[in-house]
Amino acid sequence: MSQKKIDKQMRKNEDKRAKGRIFKKDSSFLKAEENVFDVPTLKLLYSFANKGFISELGGSISTGKEANVFYATGNEGEVAVKIYRINSSTFKSMDPYILKDPRFTHIRHSRKDIVFAWTQKEFQNLLRISKAEIRSPKPITCDRNVLIMEFMGKNGVAYPSLKEVKMDEEAARVFYDQIIESMRRMYVRASLVHADLSEYNILIDIEKEEAVIIDVGQAVTLNHPNAREFLARDIENIKRFFKKFGIEEETKDILERIKQKKEEDTIIEPDSEEITIDASEDEDEIENKEFEK
Ligand SMILES: Nc1ncnc2c1ncn2[C@@H]1O[C@H](COP(=O)(O)OP(=O)(O)O)[C@@H](O)[C@H]1O
Ligand SMILES: [Mg+2]
């Protein structure tokens, strides 16, 4: 698409926004973010708005190395919108997690394709994880580099991370056991290893006193060649964090708990979860019709 056409499209969208048809209240939002997101990403957000997934886009929840997370409301209620930056300078660090994952071997290795595949991978991992009855954000939809999921929080306030929560040894023990059980369900039921588990990627629902597992883009299947090593690292991170609360369990005992099958377990069949990315799709081909609605 030529620059001129983009400008025209952007102006059209500007007009729509001014009329309040896309993002009702916070129309200043995208303006402020124009430097962060490229035109196709903005278009994709409009298309999610047209489909009702987003009716009001709220503030930024987090700006990470590879992705930004925003709060929004839509026809699914409160949601978190995770937007992977295509020009992220650290995208190379995604390689070991995705290129050796048997589900992704056919992905073309351009930066854009890796980011799109990564977003799909996080969506599918979230799907498997919620099927395995692990407390985590329910995935709602995803396309290209944008993932929309259940907002883990209440009235616009995200749950605190495990790192931020003040707790005594008794409460720590409860969360510790919940986390080990989540790792077990992930391993046994979902055949996944989180691979970036730490006090930063676990939120705490204070009301229900429940640990919530997030940030599963890098989670790998058990047949990934580095799955063992990633699991060992996850275990060490959890051990290190809980040591402060007087909890010390031998790595081999933790590993045994994680691998233990229980009668109530149902194994998630990964049948139709093959990642399908149309690598030939170019950003210029993104449906313009979406914007004419
Ligand atoms: N579904 C969600 N609900 C509420 N807050 C979320 C959600 N997902 C992410 N966050 C917030 O955004 C932060 C970054 O998200 P995360 O998925 O961990 O991405 P990153 O790769 O940048 O670490 C989290 O630490 C959390 O505070
Ligand atoms: Mg994180």
CATH number at residue 201: 1.10.510.10
* Annotated catalytic residue, options 196, 234, 278, 282: 196
pLDDT at 184: 98
pLDDT tens digits along 84-136: 988 765 666 777 777 777 777 766 677 888 899 999 999 999 999 999 999 99
Domain boundary among 105, 130, 156: 156
Asked, for residue 180, whether it belongs to a domain, the answer is: yes
Residues 169 and 149 in one domain: no
Residue range 175-193: mean pLDDT, rounded: 98
pLDDT at 95: 72
Residue 270 in this model has a pLDDT that exceeds 80: no
Residue 213 in this model has a pLDDT that exceeds 50: yes
pLDDT at 269: 80
Nearest to 291 by CA among 40, 25, 69, 115: 40
Show Cβ contacts of residue 109 under 8 Å, excluding neighbours closer than 6 positions.
99
Residue range 76-85: mean pLDDT, rounded: 96
pLDDT greater at residue 224 or residue 291: 224
CATH number, position 64 = 3.30.200.20
Q: How far is CA 66 from CA 51, 73, 77, 93, 146, in A?
A: 26, 23, 26, 10, 12
Domain boundary among 121, 156, 191: 156
Beta strands (DSSP E) in the chain are 56-63, 67-74, 77-84, 139-143, 146-150, 153-154, 157-158, 192-193, 202-205, 210-213, 220-221
Asked, for residue 277, whether it belongs to a domain, the answer is: no
Residue 281 confidence class, pLDDT cut points 50, 70, 90? very low
Angle CA 170–175–178, to nearest 5: 130
- Tally the residues of the chain: 293
Residues 64 and 151 in one domain: yes
Nearest to 81 by CA among 111, 45, 113: 45
Residues 110 and 199 in one domain: no
Q: How far is CA 173 from CA 56, 197, 202, 210, in A?
A: 39, 17, 15, 12
Asked, for residue 223, whether it belongs to a domain, the answer is: yes
Residues 77 and 204 in one domain: no
Q: Is the CB of 212 under 6 A from ligand 1?
A: no
Q: Is the CB of 160 under 6 A from ligand 1?
A: no
Residue range 270-276: mean pLDDT, rounded: 53
* Annotated catalytic residue, options 215, 253, 282, 284: 215
The Cα 16–Cα 292 span in angstroms is: 10
Residues 141 and 188 in one domain: no
| Residue 103 contacts residue 221 (beta carbons within 8 Å) | yes
Mutation choice for ligand 1 from 214, 218, 237, CB with most ligand atoms inside 8 A: 214
Residues 222 and 247 in one domain: yes
Domain boundary among 156, 187, 217: 156
| Residue 117 contacts residue 98 (beta carbons within 8 Å) | yes
Residue 283 confidence class, pLDDT cut points 50, 70, 90? very low
Residues 165 and 89 in one domain: no
pLDDT at 8: 52
- Note if 196 is an active site residue: yes
Residue 275 in this model has a pLDDT that exceeds 80: no
Residue 66 in this model has a pLDDT that exceeds 60: yes
**Torsion angles phi and psi, residue 185, rounded to 5:** -65, -40
Residues 233 and 137 in one domain: no
pLDDT at 178: 98
Asked, for residue 250, whether it belongs to a domain, the answer is: yes
Q: Which domain holds residue 84?
A: 18-156
Structurally, how many domains does the chain consist of? 2
Determine which of 22-31, 125-134, 164-173 has the lowest per-residue pLDDT on average.
22-31
Asked, for residue 50, whether it belongs to a domain, the answer is: yes
Looking at the CA of residue 64, tell me the nearest atom of ligand 1: 22
Determine which of 30-34, 162-166, 243-247 has the lowest per-residue pLDDT on average.
30-34
Residues 118 and 222 in one domain: no
pLDDT at 38: 83
Residue 240 in this model has a pLDDT that exceeds 60: yes
Looking at the CA of residue 201, tell me the nearest atom of ligand 1: 18
- Note if 215 is an active site residue: yes
Determine which of 118-127, 207-216, 262-271 has the lowest per-residue pLDDT on average.
262-271
pLDDT at 39: 87
Residues 175 and 147 in one domain: no
Asked, for residue 271, whether it belongs to a domain, the answer is: no
pLDDT at 101: 79
Looking at the CA of residue 150, tell me the nearest atom of ligand 1: 1
Residues 72 and 168 in one domain: no
DSSP SS3 for 269: coil
Q: Is the CB of 214 under 6 A from ligand 1?
A: yes
Residue 245 in this model has a pLDDT that exceeds 50: yes
Q: Is the CB of 195 under 6 A from ligand 1?
A: no
Spacing, Cα 217 to ligand 2 middle (Å): 9
pLDDT greater at residue 4 or residue 286: 4
Residue range 78-82: mean pLDDT, rounded: 98
Residues 116 and 61 in one domain: yes
pLDDT greater at residue 109 or residue 28: 109
Asked, for residue 9, whether it belongs to a domain, the answer is: no
Element containing residue 33 per DSSP (H, E)? helix 28-33
Residue 234 confidence class, pLDDT cut points 50, 70, 90? very high
Asked, for residue 191, whether it belongs to a domain, the answer is: yes
Residue 151 in this model has a pLDDT that exceeds 70: yes
